[in-house]
Amino acid sequence: MKLGKYHLSEKPVFMAPMAGITDKAFREIIRLTGGKYVITEMISDKALLHHNAKTFKMLDLKGEEEPRIVQLFGSEPVPMARAAEIAETYGADIIDINMGCPTPKIVKNGEGASLLRNIPLAIEIISEVVKAVRVPVTVKIRLGWDSSTIVALELAPMLEQAGVSMLTVHARTREQYYSGKADWEWISKIKARIGIPVIGNGDILSPEDALKMVQLTGCDGVMIARGALGNPWLIGRSQYYLDTETLPQEPDNREKLRILIQHFEKIIEYKGERTGVQEIRKHASWYIKGMRKAAEYRNQIMKIKSYQEMKTLFSGIYSMECPDH
């Protein structure tokens, strides 16, 4: 699949942009475990234009493999275009626009999934962003605000006409958030409507799910979100499965703990001890899920406040879970 100057895999597998998850450390872990295509956390156009230091750290792409994909969100055409220019200057190879985030604090400002209720504004934003940058512009949408206002089918051709290079469809409405079942049939319908690549998203929890979505919908690739929490291998394993139709082995506890420790070191490197210790707690809880003493380990992880203590605990868990090492 071609996106701008980039020749991607025939059926690319993307790690979805996730607030508080897909930071620099996690993006590097995804690539370390075999994934190729990752996207930044969604970044506010206004925060960039106001030179917010924390937001600019989210835009740190140094040393990352291409294509470097930055996702932006906002509700006004000109600020979004200016933010896209900034992202391009900072090394973005592809700009993705968020029109699917369902969280109240985003939609109350007319951003994210709220744009599905204002199609003229959505198209105006895309048109301005496409004009402002030289790199491909992609969009991530949901089906509509709720089941009675499905707009994806009419919106998709308009986005293509406005210059969008690829469209990702999360096959749920805003009202569903992440509950219920993603309706993949809509992905098929949208794919039949437009000529640009369509990426399917929703309920992919295994490489088998990824292949099933491609086969059932005819989509050009897939995007995985919650399935990769504590399981970054899912991106690379799914990509390998789509490329070769050979199912790679699942990581064992030794591999999970080895990557957890590397993940921890990366967060510490990029965010410092205090933030790093706080942020690794949620990731560690996901990594150790299914281990014999997971609940006990989780309780200990939540109490620890220093880098050294956390590192000692992880080493101890490793010894317990991998005694033959």
Residue 190 pLDDT exceeds 60: yes
Mean pLDDT across the stretch 231-252? 97
Mean pLDDT across the stretch 280-303? 95
pLDDT-derived band at 323 (thresholds 50, 70, 90) equals confident
The H or E element containing residue 109 is none
What pLDDT is attached to residue 227? 97
Contact 128, 76 (CB under 8 A): no
Question: How many CB atoms are located within 10 Å of the residue 54 CB?
Answer: 7
Q: Is the peptide bond before 207 cis (omega within 30 degrees of 0)?
A: no
Residue 278 pLDDT exceeds 60: yes
What pLDDT is attached to residue 322? 85
Q: What is the percent of the chain with per-residue pLDDT over 70, rounded to a whole number?
A: 99
Residue 325 pLDDT exceeds 60: no
- Residue-wise pLDDT tens digits, 26-42: 999 999 999 999 999 99
Query: How many helices and strands in the chain, by DSSP H and E?
Result: 13, 11
What's the Cα-to-Cα distance from 129 to each of 132, 176, 316, rounded to whole Å? 5, 29, 50
What pLDDT is attached to residue 196? 98
Q: According to DSSP H, which parts of 20-118 are helical?
A: 24-32, 45-49, 53-58, 77-89, 104-107
Backbone dihedral region of 110: left (phi > 0), alpha (psi from -120 to 50 degrees) or beta?
left
What pLDDT is attached to residue 102? 96
Mean pLDDT across the stretch 213-226? 98
- The residues annotated with a catalytic role in the active site are 101
Backbone dihedral region of 72: left (phi > 0), alpha (psi from -120 to 50 degrees) or beta?
beta
